[in-house]
Amino acid sequence: MPEPRHQIVIVGGGAGGLELATHLGKSVGRRGLADIQLIDMSRTHIWKPLLHEVAAGTMDPSEDELEYLAQARWRHFRFRLGRMVGLDREARQVHLAPVLNDRGEEVIAARSFHYDTLVIAVGSVSNDFGIPGVKQHCLFLDTTDQAVRFQQRLLDAMLHAHTQGGPSRPGELGVAIVGGGATGVELAAQLRHVTRLLSQFGLDEIDPERHIQLHVIEASEQILPALPPELAAAARRELERIGCKVHTGERVVEVSADAIHTASGNTIPAAIKVWAAGIKAPEVCGELAGLEVNRINQLVVDRRLRTSDPNIFALGDCAACPLDDSSDWLVPPRAQAAHQQASLLYRTLRRRLVGKDPLIYSYRDYGSLVALGRYSTVGSLMGNLTGSMMVSGFIARLVYLSLYKMHQAALYGWPRAMLFSLVHLLRRHVDPEIKLH
Ligand SMILES: Cc1cc2nc3c(=O)[nH]c(=O)nc-3n(C[C@H](O)[C@H](O)[C@H](O)COP(=O)(O)OP(=O)(O)OC[C@H]3O[C@@H](n4cnc5c(N)ncnc54)[C@H](O)[C@@H]3O)c2cc1C
């Protein structure tokens, strides 16, 4: 009897997990050195940093999403649809919940998969910090469905206000974004652009500047805390120039149906409220047969991305990985970290197949860039020779776009990634610039 093949199971096909499955499939999967299985609760993948564009309607998710089943076929791994709900570390099994359709009928029964090596890459969700009213009244941008829901809420609100000759009460077309990090700031700028465009598509009873109030609410004294103060101040000026109200030093204490309430006693009226103020790992990470988690539920890993179980690794947003050996700092939850960790784990898992030790991960910060819709891009780049360098305008925009290109290249290879760019360009000449339904 031939030896059964080593089973590598990756749970979560996001920025990190899908790149890892693709690299492993292309090499060890194709050559039959191990079986690679990718589990995800969604049928398609979209790169999460694009979700604010989906929410604003400047990106139609159906044009940019990747079908897991197709990728699995092309890249020699198996795709399993389902949500991980638990683990049996003794029997080395991952348990998945049944998959239901939109009528609540069972499509796939609950099932379990055996692993020899398990990689958990389930990402993160928004953290509401237990603040009253957030869950009930805020929208989140954790999944494509949520982003699409936001886009439709905004469009519906504008259609409604238009047919009644303009908004009938304060805040009816107000959008409040809680969290002045990259997500909140990018969303605000993109929304200003989109609401201006929408009013040109026949919704002319609405004056975007006068009727649509956009608020960004941030607890600290500076928006974009990851950027140097000069750049954060430039981004703030730009937001204010395009008519967004920026509230810094305002800690949200409650959210009600029509407004955001802050600790200073401020009430900001807004019918649509988005929560983008911090992350935590999904609930399931705390329910994985005793694997250690931190206070935001991330799986504790060492610098080799190992959990306390030597057969289980974790990467990306769901992993609490030390930045170095001498401080308590953790690797930040960012797409570039997930990308780097996927590349490292690819090499580690190949070594593991021949009995070698896992490699040590060192985070390389290439800087942060924030796109202010069509208006501007600002950020800082880090290089070995240049150190930290502030950039803005066209160069910053190019580098910003290149991050997504690199993700596409990791999944499809450079020729197809460039073909996607061409298709995108051609579509811009035949489709409206924004989604109108
Ligand atoms: C709107 C927005 C904008 C952002 N912009 C930037 C940016 O400009 N730059 C940057 O560096 N980072 C940005 N980020 C952060 C970045 O998206 C994340 O750091 C990155 O996606 C993390 O990758 P990951 O592989 O850990 O998880 P993800 O990419 O989140 O993927 C997790 C995957 O796990 C699956 N999953 C979750 N739970 C389960 C389960 N129980 N069972 C099975 N599957 C499961 C999900 O369906 C998903 O496919 C942004 C995030 C958001 C939301």
Contact 144, 65 (CB under 8 A): yes
d(CA 85, CA 97): 6
pTM of the predicted model, to two decimals?
A: 0.93
Q: Whose CA is nearest to atom 5 of ligand 1?
A: 49
pLDDT band at 388 (very low <50, low <70, confident <90, very high): low
In this predicted structure, the answer to whether residue 383 has a pLDDT above a threshold of 70 is no
Q: Domains in the chain, please, with CATH?
A: 6-124+281-353 (3.50.50.60), 134-275 (3.50.50.60), 367-430 (no CATH)
In whole angstroms, what is the distance from residue 211 CA to residue 361 CA? Answer: 50
pLDDT band at 375 (very low <50, low <70, confident <90, very high): low
Inter-residue contact 68 to 34 (CB < 8 Å): no
The residue that leads in pLDDT, 178 or 401, is: 178
Per-residue pLDDT tens over the stretch 138-152: 999 999 999 999 999
Are the CB atoms for 323 and 114 separated by under 8 Å?
A: no
Distance 317 CA to ligand 1 centre (A): 7
Sign of CA dihedral 12, 18, 20, 26: positive
| Closest C-alpha to ligand 1, atom 13 | 49
Whether 128 has a pLDDT exceeding 90, the answer reads: yes
Q: Please give the pLDDT value at position 265.
A: 97
**How far does residue 161's CA lie from ligand 1's centre (Å)?**
34
Mean pLDDT, residues 266-290:
96
| Least confident stretch, 57-61, 248-252, 371-375 | 371-375
CA 334 to centroid of ligand 1, rounded, Å: 8
Question: What's the average model confidence in pLDDT over 421-426?
Answer: 87
Residue 189 has pLDDT above 70, yes or no: yes
Summarize the confidence of residues 264-274 as an average pLDDT.
Answer: 96
The confidence score (pLDDT) of residue 389 equals 67
CA of residue 278 to ligand 1 center, whole Å = 13
Average pLDDT for the chain: 91
Q: Which residue has the tokens 């796109």?
A: 371
Q: What is the pLDDT of residues 209-243, one digit of tens each?
A: 888 899 999 999 999 987 888 888 988 998 999 99
Q: Is 17 in the pocket of ligand 1 (CB under 6 A)?
A: yes
State pLDDT tens for residues 241-253. 999 999 999 999 9
Residue 179 in contact with ligand 1 by CB distance below 6 A:
no
